[in-house]
Amino acid sequence: MPKSALASFPVSALFGVVKPSGPTSMAVVHNLQELVTRSKLFTVPEKLEKMKDKKINPKRRGKQKDAVKVGQGGTLDPLADGVLGV
C-alpha cells in the first residue's frame, strides 16, 4: 500500500480561539487574519515575498488584495467571553 504524501503548504485549519470580553468577534477574526496572512504556514512563499515590504494600514476598510480568507462559525457578544470557532 503506497504511503500518502503529506499536504504541502499552504494549510487550511479550524481553530478554537478564546475571546475575552471587550473586543467584538469580528475584531478578533480581523486580528487573526492579519497574523495568518503574514504566516509561512498559511501563505504561498511567493506572496510572502511580495508582502514583505508592505505595511498593514489599520484604518483601511475592506479586503486586502493578498489577505488569507478567515471566517467565524458564530458570533459572541462583545461583553461575553468564550471560545470562537474560526
* 81 part of the active site: no
- Indicate the pairing of strand 16-19 with strand 82-85: antiparallel
Out of 53, 66, 77, 81, pick the active-site residue: 77
Spell out the residues 6+ positions from residue 19 whose beta carbon is closer than 8 angstroms to its own: 25, 28, 76, 80, 81, 82, 83, 84
Q: How far is the C-alpha of 77 from the C-alpha of 86, rounded, in Å? A: 15
Active site residues: 77
